Structure 1
Amino acid sequence: MKIMVSQSLPIVSKCRVSPSQKSTLTELKLSVSDLPMLSCHYIQKGGLFAKPPFPISDLLSLLKRSLSHSLTHFPPLAGRLTTDAAGYVYIHCNDEGVDFIHANASHIHVIDLLGSADGDVPEAVKSCFAFDHAVSHTGHFRPLLAVQVTELADGVFIACSFNHAVADGTSFWNFFNTFAELSRSGVKRISRSPDFSRDSVLISSAVLRLPEGGPKVTFSGDAPIRERIFRFSRESILKLKARVNNGNMMITNGAVNVAELMGKHANDTLMCKQKPITPLSWLRNAVTGNHTNPTAAAAKAEISSFQSLSALLWRGITRSRRLPAGETTTFRMAVNCRHRLEPELEPLYFGNAIQSVPTSALAGDVVAGENLRWCAEQLNRTVAAHGDAAARKYVEDWEREPRCFPLGNPGGTMVMMGSSPRFPMYDNDFGWGRPVAVRSGRNNKFDGKISAFPGREGGGSVDLEVILAPETMAGLESDPEFMQYVTVY
């Protein structure tokens, strides 16, 4: 039975939650990676959980208490944006607090939010998030974080809406993990403390001049789109990677290491000057652009699973769009620069430390014959070349022309990959079990926007949240090369 809901759910209660202790931070200057995000919507991500074994009133008390303790460790989230007379933008850590919302969706079941008959993400999911279409610049007068707890008939959805000018996906999930950890443990200590330093090349004297009233989003929110989750099992991804690498894969004692499967930790080690992989390696390599082989000069570099999957998607979408052979198509990947800069940023650096790296090619070359390996190599080479020098040039280019990030796909030829299957999205047990699913809201979505999530079963499985124009989505769903690797559960 398909559940129809309005775009908003009844709000049972709403309150402001402040840190349990007064902040010792005063202000943090926005960096050259933060400032471009002022025109982007808030990040919206959340977890769908089974019903906890205690009353909703107890759950709300637990979450408010643990949220307050979490904000003590993440004081910028309880602050507000402020712009000084010179035009510099800061996070004022004034302990003003965040929104905490309890919404009622007792007519909706967990299964209703997992997927509709046509495979699309149900519209009801979008109602579980606050701050729809809120632009990050509005953090000057609204909270930088909102937590919405939606009560379902047989479960609960816990969602965060997170100002994108304040932090990226790595910082988002570190906060979400901390929030869950403190809820589950009942103690005030945390295992992954964020780093708030502001002494890197990302902190600039350049000023971003904004129009009166603040920036606007750079894409239309009214264009028709479809949103679907495509799932890829570990076995399916192994098969794809073997095809791209002509059967030459790194196998030890008959097993494929999950780190190698998804992101090439060995290659990351090379890029990081032979430094050992640490328990925090998922943070050093958390954003999709790091899934690469840095030895780009090698004639037959091993292509990672994620690059193989990205190439498969690029080809499928380009075919479905029926682009002319001479048209240029671009695949953008978000690159985590924490470990690429010299000296490196801390793995738990709080803020945005991502740069958008494009790979462009003629549509005819992307879709030609057996060019899957070729497409993957283009992605590999582009991202592998994005080391310290390229990251610093990115900063210098922005300083010469400060601007907001042009999110969107105005020419209809681009694919933009965000998030990462390495983010610990399912390491969020608030005290009664891991999420049944992880989903996002309606913010920052347009034709060609892709987000990569880890599969719930782990082991290197991946879920791709794909946003496409309806006709393009229909073409992708009927594309034999792409669909042969999609796993039906």
Structure 2
Amino acid sequence: MSQPIVAAVRVKPSTRLGLPRPDPVRIHTLDLVVPLVWAPIYYFFPPVSQADHPVKETILNFISSLADVLEHFPLLAGSIKHDDSGNLNIHSDNVGADFVYELRNEEFPGAHVQGLDPRGVDIGLPAPGDPLVAIKFTAFTCGTYVLCITTHHVVGDLTSTMDFTYAYARRFANKPYLSTVPKAWSREPLKYFDTPSAPVSSLPLLDTIPGITILPSNQLPPPFPLPEPADLVQFYTTTQKLAQIKNAINSSASTPTVTTFQVLTALLWQATVRVALPHLPEDEIINLGLAVNGRERAPTRAMVQDHFCGNFNPAVCVSLTQGQLVNSDVAFIASAVKRSLKEQLEPEFIARKIKTLESMDFRRFIPNTRCQFTCWPKDLMLGEDLNFGFKFTEDAHDASPAHSSPKGKRKVVISAGDDIPFPIGTMQSIMLNGNIYKMLVAVPRGMKDAMLKEVQAWTIEKPTVILTTPQNLPSSESQARL
């Protein structure tokens, strides 16, 4: 077999429109308490029509479209530097983005093929002058195309990344693409919570922040612990399976009404603790951190309308003891999740939390959550506007990441960061369509079979038909409303 063709180019933002570049933007505390990693999103395009999308023209279109979109996202085309006071800022200095393309002399072997990510395992802040966006396009001889879009987490969360991805996909397909470009670049989230009835200036700071330990001003943070060897377990469930459990809980007058998300969170959390933390004392508190898109919690939805760029995750913390998690029924745990979401997602609470975080040196914050759960919301990940306008060949191919649907049509498959080295207790869920959830859980090395046995009562076999871009999506259900 001949060697694959691999090349990389630095794509500078276009200057066709002569758009002004914003002043340096100071990175917010919420940008620094996230994992300092590159977050990849993979798009698997089943055998593409070579008549409509030949490889060479496709690569050139990806590059030119990227240049145009970067002109409208100057922060993502910039780099991170310290100012004279030691603060970190994003400079719109036209560093650009890395674009890698690879032509592999083999048929597509499956969605977990190695080498699709342009960055790989790269932990820490980018060096000054390094790009904040990297993209890789891989073409296989069977006609399967794979696109990996990865941004550094310090630049933004999933919502910000998908705003950029939407514009990129629409520009590539030669459609109007400016609807998700942010209206402002400064990272001042508190201004969106400043209302006449509850001005931010009058809000008191929180005495404690759920899920975070605040060190005394004279105490240095401890060194990061070495990561424990972990296995990443993958499994699936359906909305029908979860609905059965939810309906059984909600039919009881002794428990509050819970949602599908709250039931899924309870099931995952309980299973993870039983498998990964059975050795802890029963009275030890175990905190669960829930990643939440808080934009929709701001009054008047102004934060959503402005497409706030950055990280805005007012993480919710749920606290139960090890004994409660191991021995209680799912209804008890789901009810605890519901209470914490209600209390900690009130706009005033979020404003007080952000104000407290802004008042201190972020190096004094130590997360104290043993478990973390991120749910990739369906309405951000799915939709025809995110398929880059690709047309696929009609003939089925067994090596394709998505088999033919009952109607004989193919769809794009999206996967999110399966190969990131997660710490033990990390849980992720992504809705693959309106029915199927894919889950990833990091457990101690050698405990994969134990985890699969723990969840077998409410999971399914790996589905053979995975469609991720249905024509008619149900109403939006972002995790901010869960």
Report if TM-score (shorter chain) is over 0.5: yes
Residue 390 (structure 1) shift: 2.0
Q: Which amino acid aligns with 2:417?
A: S
When the two structures are superposed, what TM-score results if normalisation uses the length of structure 2?
0.75
Are the aligned partners of 1:415 and 1:450 in contact in 2 as well (CA < 8 Å)? yes
Residue 139 (structure 1) shift: 4.9
Q: Which amino acid aligns with 2:136?
A: Q
Question: Does 2:81 align with 1:87?
Answer: no
Are the aligned partners of 2:255 and 2:335 in contact in 1 as well (CA < 8 Å)? no
Are the aligned partners of 2:265 and 2:334 in contact in 1 as well (CA < 8 Å)? yes
Question: Does 2:332 align with 1:332?
Answer: no
Q: Which amino acid aligns with 1:140?
A: P
* Residues 31-430 of structure 1: pairs in structure 2 closer than 5 A: 31-37=28-34, 40-54=36-50, 55-107=54-106, 109-110=108-109, 112-113=110-111, 122=112, 124-125=113-114, 127-154=115-142, 155-184=144-173, 186-187=174-175, 189-198=177-186, 199-201=188-190, 218=224, 220=226, 223-246=228-251, 300-321=255-276, 322-323=278-279, 324-342=281-299, 344-347=301-304, 348-369=307-328, 371-386=329-344, 387-403=346-362, 414-427=370-383, 428-430=386-388
CA separation of 1:365 and 1:52: change in aligned 2, threshold 3 A = same
In 2, Cα distance between equivalents of 1:329 and 1:34:
25
SS in 2 for 1:167: coil
Sequence identity percentage: 20
After superposition, what is the alpha-carbon deviation per residue over 1:63-111, rounded to whole angstroms, capped at 9, x for unaligned? Answer: 112212221222211111122112222211122210000134443525x
Which residue in the other structure is 1:14 paired with? 8
Max radius of gyration: which structure? 2
CA separation of 1:365 and 1:196: change in aligned 2, threshold 3 A = same
Are the aligned partners of 2:29 and 2:362 in contact in 1 as well (CA < 8 Å)? no
In 1, Cα distance between equivalents of 2:147 and 2:157:
19
After superposition, what is the alpha-carbon deviation per residue over 1:211-246, rounded to whole angstroms, capped at 9, x for unaligned? Answer: xxxx9994545x322223321222222223213323
| More displaced 10-residue stretch of structure 1: 187-196 or 460-469 | 187-196
Which residue in the other structure is 1:289 paired with? none
Which residue in the other structure is 1:264 paired with? none
CA separation of 1:437 and 1:136: change in aligned 2, threshold 3 A = same
Residue 301 (structure 1) shift: 3.4
CA RMSD between the two structures? 2.9
Which residue in the other structure is 1:29 paired with? 26
In 1, Cα distance between equivalents of 2:434 and 2:259:
15
For 2:415, which of 438, 453, 461 is the aligned residue? 438
In 2, Cα distance between equivalents of 1:405 and 1:60:
45
Residue 376 (structure 1) shift: 0.6
CA separation of 1:103 and 1:468: change in aligned 2, threshold 3 A = farther
In 2, Cα distance between equivalents of 1:156 and 1:175:
20
Which residue in the other structure is 1:259 paired with? none
SS in 2 for 1:158: strand
Q: Which amino acid aligns with 1:378?
A: A
Are the aligned partners of 1:41 and 1:217 in contact in 2 as well (CA < 8 Å)? no
CA separation of 1:136 and 1:228: change in aligned 2, threshold 3 A = same
After superposition, what is the alpha-carbon deviation per residue over 1:430-476, rounded to whole angstroms, capped at 9, x for unaligned? Answer: 12254224231533522121222112xx2243221222223343221
Which residue in the other structure is 1:280 paired with? none
Residue 181 (structure 1) shift: 1.6
> Which runs of no fewer than 5 residues in structure 2 stay unpaired?
193-199, 201-220, 392-410, 464-482
Residue 357 (structure 1) shift: 2.1
In 1, Cα distance between equivalents of 2:159 and 2:95:
24
Question: Does 2:441 align with 1:484?
Answer: no
Are the aligned partners of 1:454 and 1:461 in contact in 2 as well (CA < 8 Å)? yes
In 2, Cα distance between equivalents of 1:437 and 1:100:
19
In 1, Cα distance between equivalents of 2:412 and 2:364:
32
In 2, Cα distance between equivalents of 1:202 and 1:88:
21
Q: Which amino acid aligns with 1:354?
A: N
Residue 177 (structure 1) shift: 2.1
Which residue in the other structure is 2:479 paired with? none
After superposition, what is the alpha-carbon deviation per residue over 1:386-444, rounded to whole angstroms, capped at 9, x for unaligned? Answer: 222222232233234322597988xxx82211242335323321122542242315335
CA separation of 1:60 and 1:443: change in aligned 2, threshold 3 A = same
CA separation of 1:196 and 1:474: change in aligned 2, threshold 3 A = farther
In 1, Cα distance between equivalents of 2:354 and 2:416:
32
Q: Which amino acid aligns with 1:474?
A: D
Are the aligned partners of 2:374 and 2:427 in contact in 1 as well (CA < 8 Å)? yes
In 2, Cα distance between equivalents of 1:163 and 1:425:
18
Which residue in the other structure is 1:269 paired with? none
In 2, Cα distance between equivalents of 1:75 and 1:220:
36
SS in 1 for 2:180: coil
In 1, Cα distance between equivalents of 2:311 and 2:63:
26
Residue 478 (structure 1) shift: 1.1
